[in-house]
Structure 1
Amino acid sequence: MWAKPAEHAPSRRRNRRLFGVRAIRRLRRCEDGSTAIEFAFVSVPFFALLFAILETALVFWTTQVLETAVTDASRLIYTGQFQDQHAAATPEEMRTAFRDEICARVVALISCSTMLQVDVRRFGDFGSVTVDPLIDGEGAFSSDAFGFQASGEREVVVVRAAIEYPVFVTLLDASRANLANGRRLIVASAAFRNEPFGQ
């Protein structure tokens, strides 16, 4: 049987050691994965910022859509059309009907019929206007503040519509959630004096 010469063993060990040193040097010089590692460090704050910007834009857009819908629907009360159409309805039926009028003008992003709460109050003049707070002392959305009062001509009317909007990105700005359950309350309102529609 052929035996390897013993004198070659140290040179083989030296060659392996040199190969290991060369591989480490090559690894130090190699920058193929540096981009991926740098992106891993930057990606979390980048995507958090991106989604926070998108969510903020959605909240502003939803608020604007709701404000416009409340203003448009309130014209039906302002001109007396809504009162004429629902003269025989109960206050709760009128509140549901008015909510449907608002929801007909709201597009996308919210489940209007289940999320929207509507409050309509009448007053003798603007100086006597008082409304209940929508958030109680524990930071919860107070549904007791909502009702419907049918109004007549020349009466002052305050309309409020509110939704609990979900907050998805809280990493950068937790203060956007203003309710104890982690949601944001979006409120749209309108205040006006009814026309003399009885004349």
Structure 2
Amino acid sequence: MFYTGLGIITPRIMRTWQAYAKDRRGLAAVEFAMVAAPFFLLIFGLLEICVLFVVSTIMEHAVAEASRQIRTGQAQENGFNEQNFRTSVCDRFMGILDCDAKLHIDVKALNGFSAANIDMPLDEDGEFDADGFGYDPGGPNDIVAVRIFYEWSLMTPVMSAPLANMAGSKFLVQANAVFRNEPFGD
């Protein structure tokens, strides 16, 4: 009987392959490796949305509390300027947000409630456009719109790409308050 080298090796390779295929050790590690990346991206994306919700809530609270000084006339009577109002807003961020160039504030006295502009101030390239921003707290019985914006850098750019509304994988968080000033100073 004549055996070639190929004839003897082939059954040996087949037995080795069958033994390897039946071996279940490490199967959980392989399955986890296949599922880990999408799982962690999903978890981090969910955390990103939760953090954005917290940031938005903090900003809404800061706007409501800081604009109360305008609504009651305290800001006007104490000679508040834009920097004083900015400090008042920043004091209510509880150390979570920085009060640097990422924070933009717009305070305007309006002719009526329907004149309030709550649109996102973004140009066609997705960059922030602060044209027309200023600080005018109005007088007694004036209608005032307070808007603050914060440029939040997204942590998970791949998972949160649909959230980005600015260039550079950023999300512009906005908080507004529109109110009529009280009849102060009488």
- Pick the TM interval, shorter chain: 0.7 to 0.9
d(CA) in 2 for partners of 1:101, 1:165: 20
- Note if 1:147 corresponds to 2:140: no
- Residue identity matched to 1:140: E
Equivalent residue number for residue 120 of structure 1: 107
Unaligned stretches of 5+ residues in structure 2: none
Asked if structure 1 preserves the Cα contact closer than 8 Å seen for 2:116 and 2:178, the reply is no
Farther off after superposition, 184-193 or 149-158: 149-158
1:88-144 per-position Cα deviation (integer Å, ceiling 9, x unaligned): xxxxxx111111101101124321244211100002332444577511122211122
Contact 1:99–1:113, Cα closer than 8 Å, also in 2: no
Structure 1: runs of 5+ lacking an equivalent: 1-9, 88-93
Contact 1:165 1:186 in 2 (8 A): yes
> What does residue 29 of structure 1 align with?
22
Partners of 1:153 and 1:196 within 8 A in 2: yes
Return closer, same or farther for 1:55/1:131 CA change in 2, 3 Å cut-off.
closer
Amino acid at match of 1:75: R
Larger Rg: 1
Correspondence for 1:45: 38
* Match of residue 47 from structure 2: 54
Matches of 2:22 and 2:116 in 1, distance apart? Answer: 74
1:192 is matched with which residue? 179
Kept after mapping to 2: 8 A contact 1:133/1:145: no
Taking a change above 3 Å as real, the CA distance of residues 174 and 130 of structure 1, as seen in their structure-2 partners, is closer
Q: Distance in 2 between matches of 1:192 and 1:56?
A: 29
Q: Structure 1 24/126 Cα, relative in aligned 2: closer, same or farther at 3 Å?
A: closer
After the TM superposition, which residues 26-105 of structure 1 pair with which residues of structure 2 at under 5 Å, given as runs? Answer: 26-86=19-79, 94-105=81-92
User: What is aligned with 1:4?
Assistant: none
Instruction: Give yes or no for the alignment of 1:182 onto 2:175.
Output: no
**Alignment-mate amino acid for residue 89 of structure 2:** I
Give the Å deviation of 1:171: 2.5
- Provide the rounded CA distance (Å) in 2 between the counterparts of 1:144 and 1:162: 14
Judging by fraction of residues, say which structure has more helix.
1
| Deviations 1:25-50, CA, capped at 9 Å, x for gaps | 33222111211111111011100000
**1:138 maps to which residue?**
125
> Quick one: percent identity of the two aligned structures?
34
Q: Distance in 2 between matches of 1:132 and 1:124?
A: 18
* Aligned-pair CA distance for 1:24: 3.5
How far off is 1:198 after superposition? 1.3
Asked whether the equivalents of residues 62 and 93 of structure 2 are also in contact (C-alpha less than 8 Å), the reply is: yes
Q: With structure 2 as the length reference, what TM-score do the two structures score?
A: 0.86
Greater mean deviation of Cα atoms: 17-26 or 96-105: 17-26
**Alignment partners' CA distance in 2, 1:19 and 1:133:** 70
Instruction: Verify the 8 A CA contact 1:100 1:113 in the aligned structure 2.
Output: no
TM-score (norm 1): 0.81
